[in-house]
């Protein structure tokens, strides 16, 4: 009986060793699956975190761009208002017309588009107007008198008319 007991003991030992090897193999597979799952989860979590970070950065850039645009828009609006104020101050002008054309002053101011003083000038005999900016001393002469004078000078220079 001892042989049978020994055979059973050897079989039991062999079965225990094979079972232990199979358990260890299964545990190794489980450990590998857990490690793989952990790596996959970490990669997925990093991917999601990177995506969220990218979205938040894009949102921050968009908000910053909007804010910068609004600030620039307000600054530009203030600059335009200041420029218009300077233009109105600088270009205080006087429009000179014939005495007979003073009755058209309101229409001339309306056509000019800005508030301008209209005065009579004895330099204008035929018609037209002279606009004078007092601050810059700029004078625009659009009178018929000046046009006729220029044509007369041109004719004298270019006509070739000689009187003997």
Phi/psi at 126 (nearest 5 deg)?
A: -90, -35
What's the token pair of residue 41?
């989860």
Q: What is the pLDDT of residues 9-44, one digit of tens each?
A: 888 888 888 888 888 888 898 899 999 989 999 999
Tokens of 85: 């104020």
E strands along the chain, which residues? 93-97, 117-120, 128-133, 138-143
Q: What's the pLDDT score for residue 82?
A: 85
The predicted model scores a pTM of 0.42
CA 86 to chain centroid, in Å, comes to 26
Joined together, the tokens standing for residue 76 give 């530009």
User: How far, in whole angstroms, is CA 148 from its chain's centroid?
Assistant: 51
Please enumerate in sequence order all residues whose Cβ is within 8 A of that of 126, keeping only pairs 6 or more positions apart, or say none: 98, 143, 144, 145, 148
Q: What residues does each domain of the chain span?
A: 1-90, 92-148
């Amino acid at each position: 009986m001892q042989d049978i007991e020994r055979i059973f003991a050897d079989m039991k030992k062999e079965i225990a060793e094979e079972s232990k090897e199979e358990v260890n193999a299964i545990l190794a597979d489980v450990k590998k699956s857990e490690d793989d799952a952990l790596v996959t989860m970490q990669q997925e979590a990093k991917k999601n975190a990177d995506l969220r970070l990218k979205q938040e950065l894009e949102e921050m850039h968009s908000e910053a761009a909007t804010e910068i645009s609004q600030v620039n828009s307000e600054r530009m609006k203030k600059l335009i208002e200041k420029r218009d104020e300077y233009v109105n101050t600088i270009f205080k002008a006087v429009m000179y017309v014939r005495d007979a054309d003073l009755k058209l002053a309101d229409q001339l101011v309306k056509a000019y588009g800005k508030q301008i003083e209209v005065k009579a000038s004895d330099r204008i005999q035929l018609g037209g107007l002279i606009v004078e900016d007092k601050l810059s001393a700029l004078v625009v002469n659009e009178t018929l008198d000046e046009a006729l004078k220029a044509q007369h000078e041109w004719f004298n220079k270019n006509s070739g008319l000689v009187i003997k």
